[in-house]
Amino acid sequence: MTSPSAPLFRRALCAMITPFTPSGTLDLDGAQHLAAQLVANGCDGLVLSGTTGESPTTTDTEKSALVAAVREAVGDRAKIVAGIGTPDTRHTVELAKEAQKAGADGLLVVAPYYSRPPQDAVEAHFREIADACELPLMLYDIPARTGIRIEPETILRLAGHPGIVAVKDCSSDFLGAQKVLARTDLAYYAGCDEHNLALYAVGGTGYVSTVANVIPARLRAVLDAFDAGDTARAARLQHEATPLIEAIMAAGLPGTVTVKALLNALALPAGPVRAPLRPAAPATTDTLLSLHAALTGA
């Protein structure tokens, strides 16, 4: 297990979008450019092919190619965590091995969705993946999308496995997160941007942030201020980012849609979303641009 004071995956991680060309193919040049920009502006880790990276609509080959391209672009300046979660344990193991070959440092593994297995089967799923591969695992608890929790008691049992080192928490169960933090050495990452500072303040490791695609330096500054002992500044920076966080994450559209709309408007690599997702309306993009400009002065 890894201590939160020395996190294996570092602390300011961006859940990076997957750039596509106008025709909808994988844009590896764009991915390399965006990854380099994110790292230059404070991200010390990148999570690829997660929810924000549109993993349900990218192929296995595209996932591996994305890891290899981003690894080439950022070198050892950032950790790369590859999303490999599927509802099929065997398929997930295959993706884990391919991610390792492509150059990933770790694996983001979501709970097995759709079939909604009981907790003993969820636990067995993660153990089988961890036993089958050499890279460390970050458990991804996002029941709003999977339809199933990784219950705190399940996480407590899994914490004893040497290959399971971290959690991305999108459960909105702050009590459950604190229970696990108090009883394990797991590195805990906020997966909901509104919780970045709150979870960090009670011993979390950092964040895996969708909003970091568009304000990486601002979100990193929240953690830096807290580490420097300036908790008032950390709170102010978090509060100032809240309107944009809300517009991106809680306005009725997936974060992928809103982030890509804003990145495209800022002339940064993004491209279209893949169906069944649809692009944001012009009025939504205008609102996002206005909030971004108010926050950054750009």
User: pTM value?
Assistant: 0.96
Q: What pLDDT is attached to residue 6?
A: 53
Per-residue pLDDT of 179-221, as tens digits, reads 999 999 999 999 999 999 999 999 999 999 999 999 999 999 9
- Residue 2: predicted pLDDT: 36
Q: Tell me if 105 sits within 8 A of 77, measured CB to CB.
A: no
Q: For 38-92, write each residue's pLDDT tens digit.
A: 999 999 999 999 999 999 999 999 999 999 999 999 999 999 999 998 999 999 9
The tokens describing 74, both together, are 């950022």
Each residue's pLDDT tens digit, 6-30: 579 999 999 999 999 999 999 999 9
Res 1 pLDDT > 50: no
Question: Catalytic residue positions?
Answer: 140, 168
**Is 18:66 a contact under the CB 8 Å cutoff?**
yes
Q: Which amino acid is at 209?
A: S
Between the alpha carbon of residue 294 and those of residues 141, 198, 287, 289, the distances in Å are 33, 24, 11, 9
Class of the CATH-defined domain 12-231: alpha beta
For residue 274, the 8-state DSSP code is: P
The answer to whether 86 and 129 have CB atoms below 8 angstroms apart is: no
Mean pLDDT, the chain, rounded, equals: 96
